[in-house]
């Protein structure tokens, strides 16, 4: 198959995109090795073999790199949650699969997990565009929870927004504790990594979801 001949502008665009991806890959490796807040603009430039001012061609600041990783993290997270097994099952099945998918995302993407769900970088505030992606994922999660409960005829003792926040808080707490205490162990093992099913059982009992499983 003959490759299409690219115009100069197309070649430049492709090269620009390739460098952007390389910058983000270096940034993630740096965050994973030294901590999320340790991102260094000049160090990234050195690894690319360019002068620091040249990096501004691709990102206006270190915060812009964080912002792009934040945005992409939520897009990846949303795909993971929407494509998980049992995403359209009973409320109990959906809760269990959501817990597992959330914890596995955190385990496999610890740098992004911290950037997205914690405040590890002093002074960093996501852009309006990136926050819109984040809030869109939250709205979709609440929509899915509401649809599952409505289909099963379940009425909760709290509002849908409060129910969603309680689930998020529990998922985050168990995941963060697992990563802090047994980061070397996969999800399902360790002091906190094996608590996902027990955490779900608390919601099942409190909201009487066992009647509709």
Walk me through the domains of the chain, giving residue ranges and CATH numbers.
1-59 (1.10.10), 63-212 (1.10.357.10)
Q: Is the pLDDT of residue 48 over 60?
A: yes
What is the C-alpha to C-alpha distance for residues 167 and 123, in angstroms, rounded to an integer?
28
Of 67-76, 85-94, 144-153, which one has max mean pLDDT? 67-76
Q: Is the pLDDT of residue 209 over 90?
A: no
Dihedral sign, Cα of residue 183, residue 202, residue 158, residue 85? positive
Tens-digit pLDDT profile for residues 144-174: 899 888 888 888 999 999 999 999 999 999 9
Indicate yes or no: pTM above 0.85: yes
CA distances for 54 relative to 39, 71, 100, angstroms: 17, 23, 42
- pLDDT recorded at residue 45: 94
Q: Is the pLDDT of residue 1 over 80?
A: no
DSSP E strands in the chain: the ranges are none
- pLDDT recorded at residue 165: 96
Which residues, other chains included, contact 27 with Cβ-Cβ below 8 Å and sequence gap of 6+? 39, 44, 65, 69
Q: Is the pLDDT of residue 6 over 70?
A: no
Answer yes or no: are the C-beta atoms of 171 and 103 closer than 8 Å. Answer: yes
- pLDDT recorded at residue 4: 65
- pLDDT recorded at residue 3: 54
Reading the block at residue 165, the tokens are: 């926040």
- pLDDT recorded at residue 139: 95
């Amino acid at each position: 198959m003959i490759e299409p001949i690219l115009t100069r502008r197309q070649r430049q665009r492709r090269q620009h995109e390739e460098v952007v991806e390389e910058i983000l890959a270096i940034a993630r490796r740096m965050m994973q090795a030294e901590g999320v807040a340790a991102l260094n603009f000049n160090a990234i430039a050195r690894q690319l073999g360019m002068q620091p001012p040249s990096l501004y061609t691709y990102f206006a600041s270190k915060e812009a790199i964080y912002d792009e990783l934040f945005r992409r993290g939520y897009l990846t997270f949303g795909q993971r949650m929407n494509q998980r097994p049992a995403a359209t099952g009973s409320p109990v099945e959906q809760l269990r699969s959501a817990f597992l998918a959330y914890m596995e995302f955190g385990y496999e993407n610890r740098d992004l997990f911290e950037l997205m769900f914690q405040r590890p970088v002093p002074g960093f505030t996501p852009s309006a565009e990136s926050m819109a992606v984040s809030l869109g994922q939250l709205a979709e999660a609440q929509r899915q929870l509401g649809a599952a409960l409505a289909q099963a005829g379940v009425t909760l003792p709290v509002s849908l927004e409060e129910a969603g926040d309680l689930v998020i808080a529990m998922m985050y707490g168990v995941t963060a504790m697992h990563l802090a205490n047994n980061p070397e162990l996969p999800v399902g093992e360790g002091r906190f990594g094996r608590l996902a099913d027990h955490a779900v059982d608390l919601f099942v009992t409190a909201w009487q979801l066992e009647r509709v499983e």
